[in-house]
Amino acid sequence: MAIKIPWKISIIVIGIVRLVSAGIIIPVVIYQQNPSIQGIEITSDEDFLKYDLSGTGTENNPYIIEDFYIKPKSNDNGISVSSVTKYFTIRNCIIEKPDKNTESFIGINIENLPYKIAKISNNTLLKGDYGIRIFNSDGVIIFNNYLYNCSIGIGVTDDSYGCRIRSNTIENGVVGIHLDDAQSSHVEDNECKFSSYTGISVVSSGYSDFIRNNLIGTGFSFYLQFLEYSLSSNIENNLVNGKEFGFLSNLTNQTISSDEFGQLVLLNCSKIILEDLEIRDTSTALTLFFCRNSTIRNSSFSENTLLGISLRYSTEILSFNNNCSDNMNSYKSSYYHGSSSGISIWKCTFVDVQSCTILRNGHNGIFTYGGDNCSITYNSIEENGGHGLFLYYSFFNVIHHNSFVDNVQNFDANSQAYELDSADNVFYEESTNLGNYWNDWSGTSVYDIGGSSETTNSDLFPLSSPPI
């Protein structure tokens, strides 16, 4: 996307560097020495008068903040507007994080505004912790902006209602668009490319629309906790890597076996068979929310930034003969939360993970939080950055006949499996007294499982050779 050059800005050259083999386009902007202004901070209606802006602050004649190139010398933000009642528009500005800024930098910061008085359009935001941040403000329109290499491109949070995010391009950040407690948002026709964590992240933001968004080298991440609330959003005609983003709800007795999906989420489905799928280069390949009595088999969910398979609030799920490998990202979040794992099991019961290949994931091979009465058997779990198996607040699980080889690549640990606030998990098959293969086992006695409590668990019957 070309960067629009406001007439007031002194710019020598805008160039484009194209890395053909990687398919990445990097804008190169070369400025003259001095930005047109160091920053704008407005915390009252009277502050608009400090900046010689056009407009009067009415709905039909808003104040116009336009045509500035801003690169502060200090740790101040670019443009910040809070606690005002006048109408205003921010447009055609270029805002760049200072080179020596070591603190949090926000390109455009909007806080504590009433409904629909702010519009942000046609701006270019380069670097920064947030490109555009909307905090406790309603009805903000964010249209046709370009954001490059911002940790969070556009963030709408903290009880911000009815914001419209349309036709923006966000490249090479950590998260493209992040909604958190942003009810009734409208997210349409945006393009998110190569976000290292996820392209569009949605937390506690029901009754929202997600329409015709195009995600490349990244994907959607929905964090859903309540079923009725989760069914309230409208999600249609979105693309992930040129294929359909499948958000399927309330299905029963169906088989899904197709290469048409670039990413797949199932919500409140039962008796589903998912087979022969291959999904890669997104955030989380396959997610099941509130699903029951379903099977995932003979599929590949690899080379994603977050997870291969994510199971949440589901029961009686079988994962059989799937490949969940090489899921990793450069954003170092806590491995306790299961980021960049092959399989994540979150508040589920009676999950059976069997005969899967789980290799070289950035954090854990298999991560469980609140996973009870699950069975993890006959899997190859090797060379993962974190533990091969991490059990967090998980009880009554059975783990046997797995092959654990060279896990915990990224830090020092005494065991390839770990229990945190967990108990009553058995690391062997009770009917045969056969456990798991651990390539770092001493060859004598038991294999101790790492843990956070004084009483740790053990595999009482470790195997001397891989079972699979």
Burial 219-256 (b: 16+ CB within 10 A, else e): bbbbebeeeeebeebebeebbbbebebbbbeebeeeeb
| 231 within 8 A of 241, measured Cβ to Cβ | no
pLDDT digits (tens, 9 = 90+) for 372-386: 999 999 999 999 999
The set of long-range contacts for 24-30, using a CB threshold of 8 Å and a minimum separation of 24, is: 24/172, 24/194, 25/171, 26/172, 27/3, 27/148, 29/3, 29/94, 29/96, 29/126
The two structure tokens encoding residue 291 = 């699903």
Domain 241-468 in this protein, CATH class:
mainly beta
Furthest-apart CA pair in the chain: how many Å? 82
pLDDT in the model for residue 75: 67
Q: Which of the four pLDDT bands, split at 50, 70 and 90, describes residue 454?
A: low
What backbone torsions phi and psi does residue 104 show, to the nearest 5 degrees?
-65, 130
Q: Which residues contact 418 (CB under 8 A, 6 or more apart)?
A: 387, 389, 390, 391, 449, 450, 451
Give the separation between CA 88 and CA 111, rounded to whole angstroms.
13
| 257 within 8 A of 279, measured Cβ to Cβ | no
Taking residue 384's Cβ as centre, other Cβ atoms within 10 Å add up to 33
The DSSP-derived string for 169-220 is: EEESSSEEEEEES-TT-EEES-EEE--SSEEEEEES--S-EEES-EEES--E
Polymer length of the chain: 468
pLDDT in the model for residue 258: 87
Q: Which residues contact 371 (CB under 8 A, 6 or more apart)?
A: 345, 346, 347, 348, 349, 351, 391, 394, 397
pLDDT in the model for residue 104: 86
pLDDT in the model for residue 340: 86
pLDDT in the model for residue 25: 47
Query: At 54, is the secondary structure helix, strand, or coil?
Result: strand
Residue found by looking up tokens 């087979």 in the block: 275
The upper half-sphere exposure of residue 189, i.e. CA atoms within 13 Å in the direction of its Cβ, equals: 7
Q: Which of the four pLDDT bands, split at 50, 70 and 90, describes residue 362?
A: very high
pLDDT digits (tens, 9 = 90+) for 303-344: 999 999 999 999 999 999 999 999 986 444 443 445 789 999
Residue found by looking up tokens 């507007």 in the block: 81
Q: Which of the four pLDDT bands, split at 50, 70 and 90, describes residue 102?
A: low
H or E element that contains 442 = none
Give the separation between CA 448 and CA 430, rounded to whole angstroms.
17
